[in-house]
């Protein structure tokens, strides 16, 4: 059973998280790290990792089978191409690149060299997503007609490269890429219409949030939303179906399902609501809906690294397919086009 040697390029926040996680993967050994920042090099050495002096040293190290890229986004393409041309397989952080054209260039090199290129779309292993996907797949709400997925905070964009467009900053490429990726894994349908508005509340040159509206082929709709100036956050997930609804409120997985147990009910009685009466919007009475706990799906992100090993040994197909990553990049481009033109984009 072979052990794969991996070098981490970019040892900041995410690079060091990979370092921690990979300690739990028996068949991958961290050969060393490379970072352009001496402080990060020193930090790596303090944590018992070998630190390469130059990126060329990683490329020339015959022990290294896999290069893991965890640098800011604008250099993913160049590092990935150079690594594959030097005979290394590549795991790349999200967003894969700044646009679909850059991804095409990478995929050509992957094809030419026969080296694996896979993107770390780790949030496919998040419990909130897997739980909502389970509800969707099992039709626990009947036919789903509406999905909302969002993250909202109030701390603005971090003050690093994420604030600047030239480095691939902005929330669409940061959180957007995760939320869109997961939604498209959940809903196995063509997308008909895309409409997006970006926010620039904080005055950065890249988006600090956005609201993306999608209409799928069947007519079901989705909202993908990211905000960084939201002191009260809306629910992370809301899903509505013909027989019920589901909600996940927050990171702590507070939420529930409300499901209608029977059909052919009597007409609702009007209630006094505000300055008027309403029958249509009268809340359900006790016993009219079943309130259920979320069917939580557990997972481990270590499965991502194990899949990489299985793919290298021809035992599995990639858990993250490059065709899926490309579709997300093209959708992101359509979202920017919609924002810039103010128009609905007809997508697929
Ligand atoms: P960071 O700023 O904390 O770390 C980036 C590191 O890369 C820094 O130490 C920097 O010195 C180094 N670096 C910059 N250019 C380099 C180069 N040319 N060669 C080598 N090192 C270089 O950023 P981060 O938060 O760790 O983000 C890094 C990547 O990881 C980004 O692509 C980001 O989108 C992604 N990320 C993914 C997740 C996730 O959950 N998948 C979470 C956070 C960040």
Question: pLDDT tens across 88-116, in order?
Answer: 999 999 999 999 999 999 999 999 999 99
* pLDDT surpasses 80 at 263: no
Query: Which of 9, 14, 158 is the best mutation target for the ligand 1 pocket, counting ligand atoms within 8 Å of the beta carbon and taking the most?
Result: 14
Q: Which ligand 1 atom sits nearest the alpha carbon of residue 15? A: 26
Whether residues 108 and 180 share a domain: the answer is: no
d(CA 94, CA 265): 48
Euclidean distance between the first and the last CA atom of the chain, given in angstroms as a whole number: 44
Residue 211: the pLDDT is 98
Mean residue pLDDT across the chain: 96
Asked whether 145 and 121 are in contact (CB, 8 A), the reply is no
Residue 224: the pLDDT is 98
* pLDDT surpasses 80 at 264: no
Whether residues 113 and 160 share a domain: the answer is: no
Q: Is 124 in the pocket of ligand 1 (CB under 6 A)?
A: no
CA 113 to chain centre: 28
* 136-188 tens-digit pLDDT: 999 999 999 999 999 999 999 998 999 999 999 999 999 999 999 999 999 99
309 in a structural domain? no
| Average pLDDT value for residue range 225-253 | 97
Whether residues 54 and 106 share a domain: the answer is: yes
d(CA 10, CA 100): 22
Whether residues 283 and 183 share a domain: the answer is: yes
236 in a structural domain? yes
312 in a structural domain? no
Where in the sequence is the domain holding 237, given as residue range(s)? Answer: 124-300+330-346
Q: What angle do CA 147, 97, 34 make, to 5 degrees?
A: 120
Residue 178: the pLDDT is 98
315 in a structural domain? no
Q: Which ligand 1 atom sits nearest the alpha carbon of residue 71? A: 7
Whether residues 262 and 184 share a domain: the answer is: yes
DSSP label at 150?
Answer: E
* pLDDT surpasses 80 at 123: yes
* pLDDT surpasses 80 at 66: yes
d(CA 250, CA 254): 6
321 in a structural domain? no
Residue 1: the pLDDT is 67
Whether residues 71 and 144 share a domain: the answer is: no
DSSP label at 174?
Answer: I
CATH code for position 268:
3.30.360.10
Whether residues 155 and 282 share a domain: the answer is: yes
| Of 54-68, 222-236, 280-294, 309-323, the least confident | 280-294
d(CA 313, CA 1): 10
Cis peptide before 175, with omega less than 30 degrees from 0? no
Residue with tokens 């991804």, as numbered in its chain: 103
* Residues 6 or more apart in contact with residue 178 via CB below 8 angstroms: 94, 121, 123
Residue 305: exposure state from Cβ atoms within 10 A (0-12, 13-18, ≥19): buried
Q: Is 56 in the pocket of ligand 1 (CB under 6 A)?
A: no
d(CA 69, CA 76): 7
CA 72 to chain centre: 16
Q: Which ligand 1 atom sits nearest the alpha carbon of residue 34? A: 20
* 198-229 tens-digit pLDDT: 999 999 899 999 999 999 999 999 999 999 99
CATH code for position 60:
3.40.50.720
Task: Identify the band that residue 261 occupies on the pLDDT scale cut at 50, 70 and 90.
Answer: confident
Residue 19: the pLDDT is 96
Q: Which ligand 1 atom sits nearest the alpha carbon of residue 69? A: 29
Residue 291: the pLDDT is 95
Percent of the chain residues topping a pLDDT of 90: 93
Whether residues 136 and 104 share a domain: the answer is: no
Whether residues 129 and 223 share a domain: the answer is: yes
State the pairing for strand pair 89-93/66-69: parallel
Selection from 242, 258, 176, 168 nearest residue 214 by Cα = 176
pTM for the structure as a whole: 0.97
Could you give the dihedral angle defined by the CA atoms of residues 134, 135, 137 and 139, in that order, rounded to the nearest 10 degrees? 160
* pLDDT surpasses 90 at 53: yes
Question: Residue 284: in which H helix or E strand, if any?
Answer: none
| Average pLDDT value for residue range 227-241 | 98
Residue 211: exposure state from Cβ atoms within 10 A (0-12, 13-18, ≥19): middle
- Structural domain total, the chain: 2
Domain end, chosen from 120, 151, 171, is at: 120
Q: How far is CA 335 from CA 173, 176, 220, 268, 327, in A?
A: 11, 10, 18, 41, 12
* pLDDT surpasses 70 at 265: no
Ligand 1 center–CA 69 separation, angstroms: 8
State the pairing for strand pair 209-216/221-227: antiparallel
Q: Is 211 in the pocket of ligand 1 (CB under 6 A)?
A: no
Query: In the numeric block, which tokens belong to residue 242?
Result: 């013909």
DSSP label at 269?
Answer: P
Task: Identify the band that residue 286 occupies on the pLDDT scale cut at 50, 70 and 90.
Answer: confident
Ligand 1 center–CA 109 separation, angstroms: 23
Higher-pLDDT residue of 265 and 177 is: 177
317 in a structural domain? no
Domain end, chosen from 120, 150, 165, is at: 120
Whether residues 76 and 44 share a domain: the answer is: yes
Residue 73: the pLDDT is 98
| Of 190-204, 238-252, 277-291, the least confident | 277-291
Domain end, chosen from 120, 140, 172, is at: 120
Whether residues 277 and 146 share a domain: the answer is: yes
Q: Is 35 in the pocket of ligand 1 (CB under 6 A)?
A: yes
Residue 269: the pLDDT is 86
76 in a structural domain? yes
Atom 15 (ligand 1) nearest CA: 71
Whether residues 131 and 238 share a domain: the answer is: yes
Helix and strand counts by DSSP (H, E) for the chain: 10, 16
308 in a structural domain? no
* pLDDT surpasses 90 at 8: yes
Could you give the dihedral angle defined by the CA atoms of residues 75, 80, 85 and 90, in that order, rounded to the nearest 10 degrees? 160
Residue 285: the pLDDT is 83
DSSP label at 138?
Answer: T
* pLDDT surpasses 80 at 20: yes
């Amino acid at each position: 059973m072979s052990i794969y040697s991996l070098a981490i390029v970019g040892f900041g926040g995410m690079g060091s998280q990979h370092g921690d996680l990979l300690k739990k993967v028996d068949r991958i050994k961290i050969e060393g790290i490379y970072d352009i920042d001496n402080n990060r090099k020193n930090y790596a050495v303090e944590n018992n990792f070998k630190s390469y002096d130059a990126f060329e040293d990683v490329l020339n190290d015959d022990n290294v089978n896999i290069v893991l890229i965890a640098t800011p986004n604008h250099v993913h393409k160049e590092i990935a191409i150079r690594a594959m041309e030097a005979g290394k397989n590549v795991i790349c952080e999200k967003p894969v690149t700044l646009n679909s054209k850059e991804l095409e260039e990478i995929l050509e090199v992957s094809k030419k060299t026969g080296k694996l290129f896979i993107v770390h779309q780790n949030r496919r292993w998040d419990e909130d997503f897997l739980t909502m996907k389970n509800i969707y797949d099992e039709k626990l709400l009947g036919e789903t007609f509406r999905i909302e997925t969002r993250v909202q905070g109030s701390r603005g964009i971090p003050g690093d490269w994420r604030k600047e467009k030239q480095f691939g900053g902005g929330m669409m490429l940061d959180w957007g890429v995760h939320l869109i990726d997961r939604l498209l894994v959940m809903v196995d349908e063509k997308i008909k219409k895309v409409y997006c508005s970006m926010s620039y509340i904080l005055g950065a040159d890249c988006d600090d949030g956005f609201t993306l509206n999608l209409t799928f082929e069947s007519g079901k709709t989705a909202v993908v939303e990211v905000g960084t100036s939201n002191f009260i956050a809306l629910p992370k997930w809301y899903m509505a179906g013909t027989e019920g609804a589901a909600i996940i409120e927050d990171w702590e997985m507070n939420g529930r399902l409300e499901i209608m147990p029977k059909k052919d009910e009597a007409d609702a009685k009007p209630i006094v609501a505000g300055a008027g009466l309403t029958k249509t919007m009268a809340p359900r009475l006790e016993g009219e809906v079943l309130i259920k706990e979320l069917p939580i799906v557990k997972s481990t992100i270590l499965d991502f690294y194990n899949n990489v090993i299985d793919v290298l040994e021809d035992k599995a197909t990639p858990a993250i397919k490059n065709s899926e990553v490309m579709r997300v990049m093209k959708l992101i481009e359509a979202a920017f086009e919609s924002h810039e033109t103010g128009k609905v984009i007809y997508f697929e």
